[in-house]
Amino acid sequence: MTVIYMPKQSNGTVHSSKDLNQLIDYVMNPEKTNDFEYVSGQNILDIHSTCDEMLATRTMAIALKNKPQKNEKFGYHFVQSFSPDDHLTPEQVHEIGLKTMKEYLGSSAEFIIATHTDKPHLHNHIVLNATDPLTLNKFHQNKNDLERLKEISDKISKEYGCKIIDRPND
């Protein structure tokens, strides 16, 4: 059974550079990711400089667009969790997460994905830069987008033999 969501405590939104750095440190924890084996990114040159790269993208967007930022959003946090009953390997869980986010976001988004293996239920943490590095536009998401993400996650998870639960309308 696969579930993908944005953590409720923050509504999945990161509102400061400090929070972004703390979140990235948490999701990349080497004790949870088998010494960074299950950490990768899209449009990230070096996973160990993820926060700096995301902040540089944001800074470039502010400078080139020459307009003040409203409602500061530095990033978004998603969690994709799997049941131990699905008998997936960490590699499979990581691959499912990457495929899900690439289909959902396309090739221009800047994100990292970290698969945590420290609990019986394997799960992915995804940190998405709020600023697209190619267009320099902010990422916007509404309830329909989150539903689309869940559908993509279910579709890809099903390809790996995961059980899919029927979801009531949120």
* Cα-Cα-Cα-Cα dihedral sign, residues 107, 109, 115, 121: negative
Active site residue 26: yes
pLDDT at 170: 47
* 138 SS3 class: strand
Per-residue pLDDT of the chain (170 residues; tens, 9 = 90+): 789 888 876 778 999 999 999 999 999 999 999 999 999 999 999 999 999 999 999 999 999 988 766 668 999 999 999 999 999 999 999 999 999 999 999 999 999 999 999 999 999 999 999 999 999 999 988 888 989 999 999 999 999 999 887 655 54
What is each CA distance from 90 to 9, 34, 38, 111, in whole angstroms?
26, 10, 7, 19
Give the pair of three-digit tokens for residue 126: 């995804």
Adjacent-strand bridge partners of 80: 4, 124
Give the pair of three-digit tokens for residue 19: 């929070």
Claim: this prediction has a pTM higher than 0.75: yes
How far apart are alpha carbons 29 and 23 in whole angstroms? Answer: 10
Most distant CA pair in the chain, distance: 51
* Cα-Cα-Cα-Cα dihedral sign, residues 53, 75, 2, 153: negative
How far apart are alpha carbons 152 and 147 in whole angstroms? Answer: 9
* 158 SS3 class: helix
| 121 CB burial (10 A radius; 0-12, 13-18, 19+) | middle
pLDDT at 47: 97
Domains of the chain, earliest start first? 2-159 (3.30.930.30)
pLDDT at 167: 56
How far apart are alpha carbons 93 and 87 in whole angstroms? Answer: 10
According to DSSP, the β-strands at 39-42 and 111-116 are antiparallel
Catalytic residue (one of 26, 76, 104, 160)? 26
pLDDT at 69: 66
